Amino acid sequence: MDDTDRRIMHATQAGLPLTPEPYQTLAEQLGLTKEEIMQRMAAMQTSGIIRRIGAVPNHYQLGYRFNGMTVWDVPDDKIDGLGQQVGQLPFVSHCYHRPRHLPAWPYNLFAMVHGKTQEEADGQIMQIAEVLGEYCRGRDVLYSTKILKKTGFRSA
């Protein structure tokens, strides 16, 4: 990733322009050609710098009011296999391994779930618990009660 790639990513941070030729609009802003922008975005997607290009839905506004950050304590030597299984569940939007901080924070596996009702979210959490089975040594769910700030890249 070079400076030109970075400029493209920053210029599209708030979204692609809603113009008939959005890459041409960007090209004029950045002093590049639309072909170069499309090529670079395709290359960044191939190399994994870009995960996907598309509409980024706002779950909360679409009726998903029960957005839970589920956190689990699973053995470190099992987390890779378990994390991949949890990450594949269709209702999980993010799934990460993060460090524990004992004794205050015993959890090492994070998975975001999204339900329209409490019951739906509870059902999703039960399905994660089933995947983890006997390896689940502890768990908690943290629901967001307020968005205090949300801008720019979704990146963590």
Partner 1 sequence: MLTDLHKHLLNDFQRDFPLSPTPYRDIADTLGVTETDVLAALAELNEQQFISRIGAVIPPNQIGASMLVAMAVPENELQRVADQISAFPEVNHNYEREHRFNVWFVAVAATVQQLQAVIERIEQQTGYAALRLPLVDDFFIDLGFKLDLQHA
Q: Which of 61, 103, 130, 133 binds partner 1 (CB under 8 A)?
A: 61
Shortest distance (Å) from residue 125 CB to partner 1: 15
Helix axes of 34-47 and 22-30: crossing angle, nearest 10 degrees: 100
Q: Containing H/E element for 29?
A: helix 22-30
Residue numbers 7-36 binding partner 1 by CB under 8 A: 9, 12-16, 18-24, 34
Backbone angles phi, psi at 110, to 5 degrees: -115, 135
Nearer to partner 1, 55 or 126 (CB): 55
Contacts of 40 (CB under 8 A, 6+ apart): 4, 5, 8
- Check binding of 56 to partner 1 (CB under 8 A): yes
Residue 39 to residues 26, 33, 75, Cα–Cα distance (Å): 13, 10, 43
Residue bearing tokens 């809603």:
18
Residue numbers 64-123 binding partner 1 by CB under 8 A: 69, 79-80, 83-84, 86-88, 90-99, 101, 104-105, 108, 110, 114, 116
Nearer to partner 1, 137 or 143 (CB): 143
- Check binding of 55 to partner 1 (CB under 8 A): yes
- Check binding of 131 to partner 1 (CB under 8 A): no
